[in-house]
Amino acid sequence: MQSADPRWSDVDGYIVEHLIGEDPALDACLAANAAAGLPPIDVSITQGRMLELLARANKAENILEIGTLGGYSAICLARGLGDSGKLVTLELESGYAAVARKNIENAGLGDKVDIFVGEAVATLRGLVEQGQTLFDLVFVDADKQNYAAYLDYALKLSRPGTMLIFDNVVREGRVLDPSSDDPKVPGTRKLYEMLKNHPQLDATAIQTVGAKKWDGFLIAVVREE
């Protein structure tokens, strides 16, 4: 695969200048993440704005995120919540969660976001057992190896009309290669297999280029009965 075309980032810059503008809270989040040594694998600012707008368009009051990192996408999603809305976000690393908590508070969203630390599958099992309120929107962005399990749990925690969004479903085209040496590919391919003729979900995936190179989002909506 050729390296990323520099125009992809240039166009992201043009988009940000015209459609998004300055965002001190998100800039501060990235600076704090870098200072704490978190990997720079957050969604981009244009992708984050898309998540915010999807939350708002879906009138989301309850959002689930799997994979918090430093809280960049959590801030974006929480901005799209209604006034009394809540975001639940799941993170394996307690150190990352501590950075995220500060970033989310700094963005003025501390009262809207709960971070649960631990293996997401275990936390999700607990949410199902406790009878967690069903989510209006789910964003899945943690370990790709578990995407199949995350789909199962997301469905258990969804209602008809809930939107599920999965990040990193293209991976510079590696998704096409069943013998890829990228360990994240098999889990992603399993997700596509599960969604083929799925009885409850209508889905698509959109390829993206930009600051995050060539990748994509898979979007599925739970069918109305």
CB closer to ligand DHB, 43 vs 127 = 43
Instruction: Confirm or reject binding of residue 167 to ligand DHB (CB under 6 A).
Output: yes
What are the DSSP E strand ranges found in the chain? Answer: 62-66, 86-91, 113-117, 135-140, 158-167, 201-208, 215-222
Query: Closest by alpha carbon to 99, among 48, 25, 23, 29?
Result: 29
Distances in Å between the Cα of 1 and the Cα atoms of 10, 174, 213 are: 20, 9, 11
- Shortest distance, CB of residue 161 to ligand SAH, whole angstroms? 23
Q: Please choose, from the candidates 110, 104, 61, 101, the residue with its C-alpha nearest in 3D space to the C-alpha of residue 81.
A: 61
Q: Which of 30, 32, 36, 41 binds ligand DHB (CB under 6 A)?
A: 41
Spatial separation of the C-alpha atoms in residues 66 and 63, rounded to whole Å: 10
Residue 120 interacts, among ligand DHB, Mg ion, ligand SAH, none and using kind-specific CB cut-offs from 5 to 8 Å, with ligand SAH
| Entry field: residues in the chain | 225
- 73 touches, from Mg ion, ligand DHB, ligand SAH, none (C-beta below 5 to 8 Å by class): ligand SAH
Closest distance to ligand DHB from the beta carbon of 144 (Å):
7
User: Contact letters (x/-) for Mg ion, 162-181, by CB under 5 A?
Assistant: -----xx-------------
Place of tokens 């789910």: 138
Q: Does 4 bind ligand DHB (CB under 6 A)?
A: no
20 and 45 Cβ atoms separated by less than 8 Å: yes
Q: What angle do CA 29, 14, 24 make, to 5 degrees?
A: 20
Nearer to ligand SAH, 67 or 85 (CB): 67
Binding mask 129-148 for ligand DHB (x = CB under 6 A): ------------x-------
Per CB under 6 A, residues contacting ligand SAH are 41-43, 67-69, 72-73, 90-93, 96, 119-120, 141-143, 146
Per CB under 5 A, residues contacting Mg ion are 141, 167-168
